[in-house]
Amino acid sequence: EFNNQHIKIAIYFTVGDFWKISFSLPVLFNMKMLVRLGSLIRIAVYIVVRGAEQTY
């Protein structure tokens, strides 16, 4: 239980720092990062789907 609480706190702080950083940066840079993140997520999903297809 203690470990879970510790992990939750760490996640909250990380997310908070991320938001602070992203709000302090220029919007244009943020958009570029969001696009990059979006494409990374798309690639990750694609890889997972391909892996799932191969196991069946």
* Interatomic CA distance for residues 23 and 6, integer angstroms: 26
Domain holding 22, by residue range, is 2-55
25 phi and psi, to 5 degrees? Answer: -85, 160
Q: Are 22 and 30 in contact (CB under 8 A)?
A: yes
- To which residue do tokens 């890889």 refer? 47
Q: How far apart are CA 28 and CA 47, in angstroms?
A: 29
| Stated pTM of the model | 0.38
Between 28 and 4, where is the model more confident?
4
> Is 33:22 a contact under the CB 8 Å cutoff?
yes
**pLDDT (tens digit, 9 = 90+) per residue, 26-42?**
665 667 777 888 888 89
- Give the helix ranges, DSSP H, for the chain: 2-24, 27-55
Q: How many domains does the chain have?
A: 1
